[in-house]
Amino acid sequence: MAEYKRQFQSIWANLDPNGHMRHTAYNDYAAQLRVTYFEEHGFSFAHLIEMGIGPILFREETRFFKEIRIGEKLEVDIALVKARRNATKWTFRQKIYKMDGSLSAQVEVDGAWLDLQSRKVIVPPQKIIDMVNSIPKTEDFEWLPDKA
């Protein structure tokens, strides 16, 4: 499956007092890429709200390797690490690279689909299941067991 990645540029607002990109900015770029993926596959946030569904995160873990400074370009990708076949739960791994190809950070999130009225995890419509399953998979991808 083809990779999915996009380039961004670090901006002034993302700096910390040490002169490099603040830790939460990495998570912001990862989140933006997830939103972009959803939008490009027919699920803008406005459309999801109309459907009464939204993604929810249970865990977000970030590991840092190389700093990014102001004005540097960065590249963010996304891959599916594990998921239930009905897409009720999933884990995405996103890597953030400097333009020289070195790994700057890795963000991993565990999430699910939330019914915005009942506030409960739901099985999403088939089109969302298909969208989640279209995300490139990691080499160590695994299917999670269905909920008993």
The residue extents of the domains of the chain are 4-137
Residue 8 near residue 32 (C-beta atoms within 8 A): yes
In angstroms, how far is the first alpha carbon of the chain from the final one? 30
* pLDDT attached to residue 146: 83
Q: Which fold has domain 4-137?
A: Thiol Ester Dehydrase; Chain A (3.10.129)
* pLDDT attached to residue 43: 96
Which residue from 61, 121, 65 is spatially nearest to 93, judged by alpha carbons? 61
The fraction of the chain above a pLDDT of 90, given in percent, is 95
Which residue numbers in the chain have pLDDT < 70?
Answer: 1, 148
pTM of the model: 0.94
Using the 8-state DSSP alphabet, how is residue 69 labeled?
B
* pLDDT attached to residue 2: 72
Residue 73 near residue 116 (C-beta atoms within 8 A): no
Q: What angle do CA 58, 112, 55 make, to 5 degrees?
A: 95
Alpha helices in 65-122 (DSSP H): none
Q: H helices then E strands: how many in the chain? A: 3, 7
Residue 136 near residue 78 (C-beta atoms within 8 A): yes
